Amino acid sequence: MTPETLIHKYYAAQPELEDILLRHSRQVADMALRICQAHPELELDQDFIYEAAMLHDIGIIRCDAPGIKCYGTEPYLRHGQVGGEILRQEGLPRHARVAERHTGAGLPGWLPETLEEQVICYADKFFSKSRIDHPKDYEGVVKSLSKFGAEGVERFRHWHEIFSV
State the pLDDT at residue 106.
60
Share of the chain above pLDDT 70, in %: 97
The pLDDT of residue 93 is above 70: yes
The pLDDT of residue 26 is above 70: yes
Q: Closest Cα partner for 145 from 97, 93, 89, 103?
A: 103
Cα–Cα dist 122/125, whole Å? 6
Which residue segment(s) compose the domain that 154 sits in? 3-163
Query: What integer best gives the mean pLDDT of the chain?
Result: 94
3-state secondary structure of 26: helix
Per the structure, how many domains does the chain have?
1
- CATH code of 150's domain: 1.10.3210
Taking only the tens place, the pLDDT of each residue in 109-153 is 788 999 999 999 999 999 999 999 999 999 999 999 998 889 889
Q: How sure is the predictor about 90, in pLDDT bands with cuts at 50, 70 and 90?
A: very high
pTM, full prediction: 0.94
The pLDDT of residue 92 is above 60: yes
